[in-house]
Amino acid sequence: MMKPTVGTFLSIGSPVIVELASLSGFDWVLIDLEHGSGSESAMPDQLRALRGSKTQGIVRVGAPHPDLIARVLDWGAHGIMVPHVNSSAEAEQIVQAAHYSPRGRRGFSRTVRAHDYGLRSPEQSPAPLIMPQIETIEGVNHAAEIAQTEGVDVLFVGPADLQHELSHRSAAAPGDFAECLNIVVAAAKGAGKEAGILVRDPADLPHYLELGFTRIAIDSDLSILRKSWQQTLSILRSKP
Protein backbone atom coordinates (compact mmCIF):
# COMPACT_ATOMS: atom_id res chain seq x y z
CA MET A 1 0.00 0.00 0.00
CA MET A 2 1.26 3.46 -0.90
CA LYS A 3 2.22 5.68 2.02
CA PRO A 4 -0.21 8.62 2.36
CA THR A 5 1.15 12.11 1.84
CA VAL A 6 -0.44 15.32 3.09
CA GLY A 7 -0.35 18.64 1.29
CA THR A 8 -2.24 21.92 1.17
CA PHE A 9 -3.46 24.31 -1.53
CA LEU A 10 -1.72 27.68 -1.74
CA SER A 11 -3.61 30.38 -3.61
CA ILE A 12 -2.40 33.68 -2.14
CA GLY A 13 0.78 33.76 -4.20
CA SER A 14 3.26 34.52 -1.42
CA PRO A 15 6.69 32.82 -1.20
CA VAL A 16 6.56 33.45 2.57
CA ILE A 17 3.47 31.25 2.86
CA VAL A 18 5.05 28.58 0.63
CA GLU A 19 8.15 28.56 2.84
CA LEU A 20 6.07 28.45 6.04
CA ALA A 21 4.00 25.52 4.73
CA SER A 22 7.22 23.67 3.96
CA LEU A 23 8.76 24.44 7.35
CA SER A 24 5.53 23.26 8.98
CA GLY A 25 6.11 19.82 7.53
CA PHE A 26 3.74 19.34 4.58
CA ASP A 27 4.86 16.61 2.20
CA TRP A 28 3.74 18.70 -0.77
CA VAL A 29 2.06 21.99 -1.62
CA LEU A 30 -0.19 22.84 -4.54
CA ILE A 31 0.53 26.30 -5.92
CA ASP A 32 -2.61 27.35 -7.73
CA LEU A 33 -2.51 29.12 -11.09
CA GLU A 34 -6.12 28.20 -11.91
CA HIS A 35 -8.03 29.96 -9.13
CA GLY A 36 -5.17 31.46 -7.14
CA SER A 37 -4.30 35.14 -6.75
CA GLY A 38 -0.68 34.80 -7.88
CA SER A 39 0.42 35.36 -11.45
CA GLU A 40 2.88 33.39 -13.56
CA SER A 41 5.55 35.97 -12.75
CA ALA A 42 5.16 35.17 -9.03
CA MET A 43 5.68 31.45 -9.59
CA PRO A 44 9.52 31.23 -9.69
CA ASP A 45 9.94 32.89 -6.28
CA GLN A 46 7.31 30.62 -4.74
CA LEU A 47 9.19 27.58 -6.02
CA ARG A 48 12.51 29.01 -4.80
CA ALA A 49 11.02 29.08 -1.30
CA LEU A 50 11.09 25.27 -1.37
CA ARG A 51 14.80 25.01 -2.18
CA GLY A 52 16.53 22.59 0.16
CA SER A 53 13.31 21.28 1.70
CA LYS A 54 11.65 17.89 1.44
CA THR A 55 8.35 19.46 0.34
CA GLN A 56 7.28 18.86 -3.25
CA GLY A 57 6.00 21.87 -5.16
CA ILE A 58 3.12 20.98 -7.50
CA VAL A 59 1.69 23.69 -9.75
CA ARG A 60 -1.90 23.63 -10.94
CA VAL A 61 -2.01 25.19 -14.38
CA GLY A 62 -5.27 26.74 -15.51
CA ALA A 63 -5.44 24.73 -18.73
CA PRO A 64 -3.34 22.03 -20.45
CA HIS A 65 -1.36 24.48 -22.58
CA PRO A 66 2.01 22.87 -23.47
CA ASP A 67 3.91 26.16 -23.19
CA LEU A 68 2.61 26.83 -19.67
CA ILE A 69 3.27 23.25 -18.55
CA ALA A 70 6.84 23.48 -19.85
CA ARG A 71 7.45 26.84 -18.18
CA VAL A 72 6.39 25.80 -14.69
CA LEU A 73 8.46 22.62 -14.96
CA ASP A 74 11.45 24.63 -16.23
CA TRP A 75 11.02 26.91 -13.20
CA GLY A 76 11.48 23.90 -10.93
CA ALA A 77 8.02 22.54 -10.14
CA HIS A 78 8.15 18.90 -9.06
CA GLY A 79 4.95 18.24 -10.95
CA ILE A 80 1.74 19.61 -12.37
CA MET A 81 -1.96 19.34 -11.68
CA VAL A 82 -4.34 19.91 -14.61
CA PRO A 83 -8.06 20.59 -14.11
CA HIS A 84 -10.99 18.98 -15.96
CA VAL A 85 -9.29 16.00 -17.57
CA ASN A 86 -12.00 13.89 -19.17
CA SER A 87 -10.28 11.28 -21.35
CA SER A 88 -7.15 9.24 -21.87
CA ALA A 89 -6.44 11.31 -24.99
CA GLU A 90 -6.36 14.49 -22.91
CA ALA A 91 -4.18 12.80 -20.30
CA GLU A 92 -1.77 11.65 -23.01
CA GLN A 93 -1.42 15.21 -24.34
CA ILE A 94 -0.59 16.44 -20.85
CA VAL A 95 2.04 13.74 -20.38
CA GLN A 96 3.62 14.59 -23.71
CA ALA A 97 3.73 18.30 -22.80
CA ALA A 98 5.54 17.47 -19.55
CA HIS A 99 8.13 15.03 -20.92
CA TYR A 100 11.11 15.39 -23.21
CA SER A 101 11.53 13.22 -26.29
CA PRO A 102 11.12 10.31 -26.81
CA ARG A 103 8.18 10.17 -24.35
CA GLY A 104 6.95 13.66 -25.05
CA ARG A 105 7.31 16.93 -26.89
CA ARG A 106 8.53 19.31 -24.20
CA GLY A 107 11.13 21.79 -25.38
CA PHE A 108 14.61 20.93 -24.13
CA SER A 109 17.00 23.33 -22.38
CA ARG A 110 19.94 22.50 -20.13
CA THR A 111 20.09 25.95 -18.52
CA VAL A 112 16.68 26.26 -16.86
CA ARG A 113 16.23 26.34 -13.09
CA ALA A 114 14.95 22.75 -13.08
CA HIS A 115 18.51 21.70 -14.01
CA ASP A 116 20.25 24.23 -11.74
CA TYR A 117 20.85 26.57 -14.67
CA GLY A 118 23.12 24.07 -16.40
CA LEU A 119 25.01 22.87 -13.32
CA ARG A 120 23.10 19.57 -13.18
CA SER A 121 22.49 17.10 -15.96
CA PRO A 122 18.83 16.87 -17.09
CA GLU A 123 19.20 13.09 -16.81
CA GLN A 124 19.58 13.55 -13.03
CA SER A 125 16.18 15.24 -12.75
CA PRO A 126 13.28 13.01 -11.70
CA ALA A 127 10.28 12.65 -13.99
CA PRO A 128 7.58 15.21 -13.24
CA LEU A 129 4.63 14.13 -11.12
CA ILE A 130 1.45 14.38 -13.20
CA MET A 131 -1.92 14.78 -11.51
CA PRO A 132 -4.99 15.04 -13.78
CA GLN A 133 -8.08 16.23 -11.98
CA ILE A 134 -11.29 14.25 -12.14
CA GLU A 135 -13.97 16.92 -11.81
CA THR A 136 -16.76 15.92 -14.16
CA ILE A 137 -19.12 13.01 -14.78
CA GLU A 138 -17.23 12.34 -18.01
CA GLY A 139 -13.97 12.25 -16.09
CA VAL A 140 -15.40 9.74 -13.61
CA ASN A 141 -16.70 7.54 -16.44
CA HIS A 142 -13.24 7.53 -18.06
CA ALA A 143 -11.22 7.39 -14.84
CA ALA A 144 -9.90 3.87 -15.52
CA GLU A 145 -8.62 4.86 -18.98
CA ILE A 146 -7.04 8.04 -17.64
CA ALA A 147 -5.31 6.08 -14.87
CA GLN A 148 -3.89 3.60 -17.38
CA THR A 149 -2.14 6.40 -19.28
CA GLU A 150 1.62 5.96 -18.97
CA GLY A 151 3.06 8.92 -17.07
CA VAL A 152 -0.06 9.71 -15.04
CA ASP A 153 0.72 9.39 -11.32
CA VAL A 154 -2.35 10.57 -9.40
CA LEU A 155 -6.07 10.83 -10.15
CA PHE A 156 -7.00 13.90 -8.11
CA VAL A 157 -10.67 14.56 -7.42
CA GLY A 158 -11.86 18.17 -7.51
CA PRO A 159 -14.76 17.84 -5.05
CA ALA A 160 -16.33 21.27 -5.58
CA ASP A 161 -16.53 20.95 -9.37
CA LEU A 162 -17.67 17.33 -9.26
CA GLN A 163 -20.39 17.99 -6.69
CA HIS A 164 -21.56 21.03 -8.67
CA GLU A 165 -21.90 18.97 -11.84
CA LEU A 166 -23.65 16.14 -10.01
CA SER A 167 -26.19 18.62 -8.65
CA HIS A 168 -27.12 19.64 -12.20
CA ARG A 169 -26.60 16.43 -14.21
CA SER A 170 -27.28 13.62 -11.76
CA ALA A 171 -29.19 11.59 -14.37
CA ALA A 172 -26.01 11.22 -16.44
CA ALA A 173 -23.86 10.18 -13.47
CA PRO A 174 -22.84 6.61 -12.59
CA GLY A 175 -23.94 7.27 -9.01
CA ASP A 176 -23.88 9.87 -6.24
CA PHE A 177 -20.76 11.66 -5.02
CA ALA A 178 -19.74 8.81 -2.74
CA GLU A 179 -20.03 6.28 -5.56
CA CYS A 180 -18.02 8.54 -7.89
CA LEU A 181 -15.24 8.65 -5.30
CA ASN A 182 -15.25 4.86 -5.11
CA ILE A 183 -15.00 4.65 -8.91
CA VAL A 184 -11.99 6.99 -9.01
CA VAL A 185 -10.18 5.19 -6.18
CA ALA A 186 -10.79 1.81 -7.83
CA ALA A 187 -9.53 3.13 -11.17
CA ALA A 188 -6.34 4.44 -9.57
CA LYS A 189 -5.71 1.24 -7.63
CA GLY A 190 -6.35 -0.86 -10.71
CA ALA A 191 -3.56 0.96 -12.54
CA GLY A 192 -1.18 1.03 -9.59
CA LYS A 193 -1.60 4.79 -9.27
CA GLU A 194 -2.57 7.10 -6.41
CA ALA A 195 -5.92 8.76 -5.76
CA GLY A 196 -6.01 12.25 -4.28
CA ILE A 197 -8.58 14.74 -3.05
CA LEU A 198 -8.91 18.16 -1.40
CA VAL A 199 -10.39 17.97 2.11
CA ARG A 200 -11.57 21.09 3.89
CA ASP A 201 -11.91 19.69 7.42
CA PRO A 202 -8.87 17.89 8.91
CA ALA A 203 -11.28 15.78 10.97
CA ASP A 204 -12.40 14.12 7.71
CA LEU A 205 -8.88 12.87 6.93
CA PRO A 206 -9.37 9.36 8.43
CA HIS A 207 -12.53 8.88 6.35
CA TYR A 208 -10.76 9.60 3.07
CA LEU A 209 -7.77 7.49 4.01
CA GLU A 210 -10.15 4.62 4.67
CA LEU A 211 -11.70 5.12 1.22
CA GLY A 212 -8.25 4.64 -0.30
CA PHE A 213 -7.05 8.17 -1.01
CA THR A 214 -3.32 8.50 -0.41
CA ARG A 215 -2.52 12.03 -1.63
CA ILE A 216 -4.66 14.39 0.38
CA ALA A 217 -4.64 18.17 0.48
CA ILE A 218 -5.90 19.77 3.69
CA ASP A 219 -7.65 23.08 3.01
CA SER A 220 -5.95 26.18 1.53
CA ASP A 221 -3.94 29.12 2.83
CA LEU A 222 -6.69 31.61 2.01
CA SER A 223 -9.43 29.49 3.58
CA ILE A 224 -7.41 28.84 6.75
CA LEU A 225 -6.64 32.55 7.13
CA ARG A 226 -10.28 33.55 6.49
CA LYS A 227 -11.67 31.07 9.03
CA SER A 228 -9.08 32.04 11.65
CA TRP A 229 -9.86 35.75 11.29
CA GLN A 230 -13.59 35.10 11.43
CA GLN A 231 -13.19 32.99 14.55
CA THR A 232 -11.02 35.64 16.22
CA LEU A 233 -13.43 38.46 15.42
CA SER A 234 -16.41 36.38 16.49
CA ILE A 235 -14.83 35.83 19.92
CA LEU A 236 -13.96 39.52 20.31
CA ARG A 237 -17.38 40.75 19.23
CA SER A 238 -19.21 38.29 21.47
CA LYS A 239 -17.71 39.92 24.56
CA PRO A 240 -19.75 42.70 26.21
Angle among Cα 34, 23, 151 to the nearest 5 degrees reads: 45
Query: Annotated active-site positions, please?
Result: 35
Which residues make beta-bridge pairs with 59?
31, 80
Q: Alpha-carbon torsion 163, 167, 171, 175, what sign?
A: positive
CA dihedral 102→108→114→119, nearest 10 degrees, is 110
Which residues make beta-bridge pairs with 33?
none
User: Three-state SS across 190-203?
Assistant: HCCCEEEEEECCHH
Q: What are phi and psi of 192, to 5 degrees?
A: 70, 30
